[in-house]
Amino acid sequence: MPLRLATQVTGTFVALAALASWSVADAQDDAAALQTAVLAGSCANCHGTDGHSPGAIPSLAGKKEEDLLKALTAFKQGKAKVTVMTRLAKGYTDEQLAALAHYFATRE
Amino acid sequence: MTTRRSFLSLAGAGLALPWLPRPARAQAKAGRVIIIGGGFGGATAAHYLRRYDPQLEVTLVEPAANFVTCPFSNAVIGGLRDLASITHGYGGLERMGVRMARLAAEAVDPAGRTVRLAGGETLPYDRLILAPGIDIRWNGVEGYGPEAAERAPHAWKGGPQTALLRRQLEAMEDGGTVIIAVPASPFRCPPGPYERASLIAHFLKTSKAKSKILILDSNEEFSKQKLFMQAWEALYPGMIEWVPASQDGKVVRVDAASLTVETEFGTKHKAAVLNLIPPQTAGRIAVDSGLTNEAGWVPVTARTFEAAKAPGVHVVGDAAVASPMPKSAFCANAQAKVVAATVVAALRGLPAPEPSWANTCYSLLAPDYGISVAGVYRLEGDAVKAVEGAGGVSPLDAPPAFRREEAKFAVGWYQAITQDTFAG
Ligand SMILES: Cc1cc2nc3c(=O)[nH]c(=O)nc-3n(C[C@H](O)[C@H](O)[C@H](O)COP(=O)(O)OP(=O)(O)OC[C@H]3O[C@@H](n4cnc5c(N)ncnc54)[C@H](O)[C@@H]3O)c2cc1C
């Protein structure tokens, strides 16, 4: 929906007030959004809510999507010398890792 | 799964933003969610319900003004931190619009959908989330009741018990034996007793070097065992003795007055400081509400974590039977987020999201020595399953720099999870 794109661009919800009608497509979007949020929920436990880390574990929010995905892929393939992410990334499909990279890249 | 068009992922900062389309919100009936228990499970659920859907009326029932965490309480017991540094308030959640009911819940009526608070007030709900943590099974070890716990602290709930055990260790004379008695699994925080032994050893090594620690265990093996034993040999040689059940480690009786324990085959041990970790059950409200099994825990439907005996009542955290997920703060937090999304979906008429959970338990063995065990979990059929090939423990052959990194990340984890749980 065009108005959703407006939301995407501005990053605010002001545009929502102009939403004319609610449709099945919106419900599908909401369900998908909830699904990604569920997937990302376990990451917040270490990386902070929405990837804003208050401590020593790196923040993820707003990092470049391709960098995040590259890191996650390297973790999954066991190519990175790290402490815990290799063990965790192996638990997700490539599609899930892509969704996670997109999710955290789009947090402000 | 496609997320490209999803609203939440397109939106920027997610804090307390009404991400559901307005017309949908206008159409939806008001949702009232009550959460019982403001620990890792309950506080996280309150936080995420409000994040996902700020239209929801979310009430958190918790009698305590502050929450003292068990995570990092072993660091307090070992003298590395003070109690204030592991104490958290509910101000962040209140700013998120969570309503606090500062009383204990006394009874739940799943059929009538109400919760009765201490004092008699009754609150109606559309969905209930129960996160009462554990209660001690008094007399599960003969002679161990609330009075005995004042002499022989369990310190398995954060707060005064934590402070008491710390004071006893400070007052103990050099050369004494600290006994840690471990109950049979399942119990809250599988690596907890061994992390505690490590940090007590760290304290004793630096200030009372002739003292010893005796772990009397009701089990045959324990979490991250090889890593712990390797570290004990390197860091605290000769200080920690571990006795498994088969070698008469199971404590069955205690005399708190003389700080003496008796094991299954009749051996008596006298302690200078006795940390008796007793058998546990789900928090009393879950037991009193008839939700528990014979072992005292709440069986749940894996997809929604609704109590098998009371659909509509979601149970998260230590109280629930969620094996192979351990009873950890990490899992309580992870389960609560899935349940928050599940509840929002149900109240909005959306399909229930597919669950995804994870766990990582860090243990600190010394200030600069950390280890971890991790797991990723998903729903398979109607059961929780660990994703194969993922997770596992820290490598056994890692250099000191690796242990230092994990010690640093353990602290980072604590900061992140407490922020994520208490919204600030
Ligand atoms: C020594 C120790 C170290 C630990 N270290 C770690 C660690 O490093 N990492 C980790 O992941 N986990 C750790 N844990 C485990 C962790 O503490 C628990 O798994 C976690 O607290 C479980 O969360 P919960 O929400 O189920 O219960 P809790 O966090 O205990 O919260 C329960 C809350 O419910 C409230 N409540 C109970 N009954 C009622 C009622 N009737 N009405 C209203 N409120 C009620 C209580 O007051 C309490 O605030 C540790 C545990 C111990 C003992």
ipTM of the complex: 0.92
Over residues A68-76, mean pLDDT: 98
pLDDT digits (tens, 9 = 90+) for B183-213: 999 999 999 999 999 999 999 999 999 999 9
Which residue has tokens 């349940």? B339
Q: What percent of chain A has pLDDT over 90?
A: 71
Q: Quick check: bond before B351 cis, omega within 30?
A: no
Beta bridge partners of B183: none
Ligand 1 site, residue B411, Cβ cutoff 6 A: no
Q: What percent of chain B has pLDDT over 70?
A: 93
pLDDT digits (tens, 9 = 90+) for B156-184: 999 999 999 999 999 999 999 999 999 99
Ligand 1 site, residue B70, Cβ cutoff 6 A: yes
Atom of ligand 1 nearest to the CA of B158: 53
Q: How many angstroms separate the alpha carbon of residue A98 from the centre of ligand 1? A: 33
Please state, in angstroms and rounded to a whole number, the distance separating the CA atoms of residues B129 and B335: 11
Rounded to two decimals, the pTM is 0.93
Ligand 1 site, residue B133, Cβ cutoff 6 A: yes
pLDDT value of residue A23 = 63
Q: Which 3-state string (H, E, C) describes B90-122?
A: CHHHHHCCCEEECCCEEEEECCCCEEEECCCCE
CB B162 within 8 A of CB B196: no
Size of interface A-B (CB pairs under 8 A): 219
Per the prediction, chain B carries an average pLDDT of 93
Please state, in angstroms and rounded to a whole number, the distance separating the CA atoms of residues A52 and A21: 33
Query: What structural domains does chain B harbor?
Result: 148-276 (3.50.50.60)
Residue B207: both structure tokens together: 């200030």
Q: Flag if B3 and A35 touch (Cβ within 8 Å).
A: yes
Residue A72 three-state SS: helix
Around Cβ B85, how many Cβ atoms within 10 Å? 12
CB B417 within 8 A of CB B330: yes
Instruction: From chain B, pick out residues whose CB is under 8 angstroms from the CB of A27.
Output: 24, 349-350
CB B326 within 8 A of CB B141: no
Distances B25 to A27, B33, B88 between C-alpha atoms, Å: 12, 16, 33
Please state, in angstroms and rounded to a whole number, the distance separating the CA atoms of residues B302 and B30: 27
Query: What structural domains does chain A harbor?
Result: 2-105 (1.10.760.10)
Over residues B403-417, mean pLDDT: 98
The residue among A58, A11, A54 whose CA lies nearest residue B423 is A54
What's the distance, Cα to Cα, between the start and end of chain A in Å? 22
